[in-house]
Amino acid sequence: MAMPTPRRSLDDQALRRALTRTLRPFVDGTAAGISSSVMTQSRVAATARDAAVAVLPLLGAPAPSAHRVRASILPALVCSWTELDTVFEETLDRLITLPSAIAGVPDPAWDAGLPPAPRSAARAAARASSDDDVQRTWSTAAREGDIVTGPAGTTGTLIRADRRHALIVEDARSVRTHGKCACDPLSRRERGEVAFELITFGRRRAVLDVRAGHACALCRAPVVADDR
């Protein structure tokens, strides 16, 4: 026997517009609460869960299974930027045609057993400072490998500390500070960017300049603001 389809107060075109307005920020990474563009396994699961919570009320009653809604959204979260528009439209098609949930059948756990989603750099720094004093405000006495917050507010690992410069990088990998990213913008956004801070010293290690920016995760060169 065929399953009944959800009863909706909106026609398909109105529903499609409402789903687009609600779901697109989760896919683009601009929804409230998304603090990182790097889609780890935990963040994909959390984003799919939060997006499903947001779109379920639009799908009417009896509602489809939350698990099937999350699974329908998932491809739009993990596809490449070049495929996104096509995959997003296919996602809308699937959501609109989902059947009602079967009564009495529990939804599977979606993110059970996954490690916590990564925190933003500022929150991670504050937590580390209060927990075990591993993180601290940068000073000229800091050593390479320390987790510090630089003068411009960048939290990361001090990966270089010499007579002329100190370099703090969010993901603890080196950055080509004298270069300029020439990667394809879509590929760069797909891989994400990392914050860095370069401190330049003068005589007696007095701070002459502080340069804060973002580097491409592909080529490790700084991204110019106009190219972002």
For the stretch 176-185, pLDDT in tens is 888 888 888 8
Domain boundary among the residues 54, 81, 97 is at: 97
Same domain, 92 and 149: no
Q: What pLDDT was estimated at residue 95?
A: 93
Flag whether pLDDT at 203 surpasses 90.
no
User: Is the Cβ–Cβ distance between 169 and 121 less than 8 Å?
Assistant: no
Least confident span in 51-60, 78-87, 138-147, 197-206: 78-87
Share of the chain above pLDDT 90, in %: 19
Q: Name the domain count of the chain.
A: 2
Q: What pLDDT was estimated at residue 131?
A: 42
Same domain, 93 and 142: no
Same domain, 82 and 155: no
Instruction: Copy the structure tokens of residue 187.
Output: 């590929």
- Pairwise pLDDT comparison (5 vs 83), residue with the higher score: 83
Over residues 22-28, mean pLDDT: 87
| Domain assignment of residue 149, yes or no | yes
| Domain assignment of residue 108, yes or no | no
Q: What is the mean pLDDT of the chain?
A: 78
Same domain, 93 and 135: no
Same domain, 93 and 175: no
Same domain, 21 and 77: yes
Same domain, 90 and 147: no
Over residues 161-183, mean pLDDT: 89
User: Is the Cβ–Cβ distance between 100 and 110 less than 8 Å?
Assistant: no
Flag whether pLDDT at 127 surpasses 70.
no
- Pairwise pLDDT comparison (84 vs 135), residue with the higher score: 84
Same domain, 86 and 17: yes
Same domain, 149 and 74: no
Same domain, 87 and 25: yes
| Domain assignment of residue 103, yes or no | no
Share of the chain above pLDDT 70, in %: 75
Residues 6+ apart with CB under 8 A from 44: 74, 77, 78
- Pairwise pLDDT comparison (115 vs 206), residue with the higher score: 206
| Domain assignment of residue 105, yes or no | no
How many whole angstroms separate alpha carbon 185 and alpha carbon 182?
Answer: 8
How many whole angstroms separate alpha carbon 74 and alpha carbon 28?
Answer: 13
Same domain, 141 and 207: yes
**8-30 burial by CB neighbour count: b if 16+ within 10 A, else e?**
eeeeeeebbeebeebbbebbebe
Which burial class, exposed, middle or buried, applies to 148 when counting CB atoms under 10 A from its CB (0-12, 13-18, 19+)?
A: buried
Domain that holds residue 48: 12-97
Over residues 16-36, mean pLDDT: 77
How many whole angstroms separate alpha carbon 50 and alpha carbon 34?
Answer: 10
How many whole angstroms separate alpha carbon 166 and alpha carbon 198?
Answer: 6
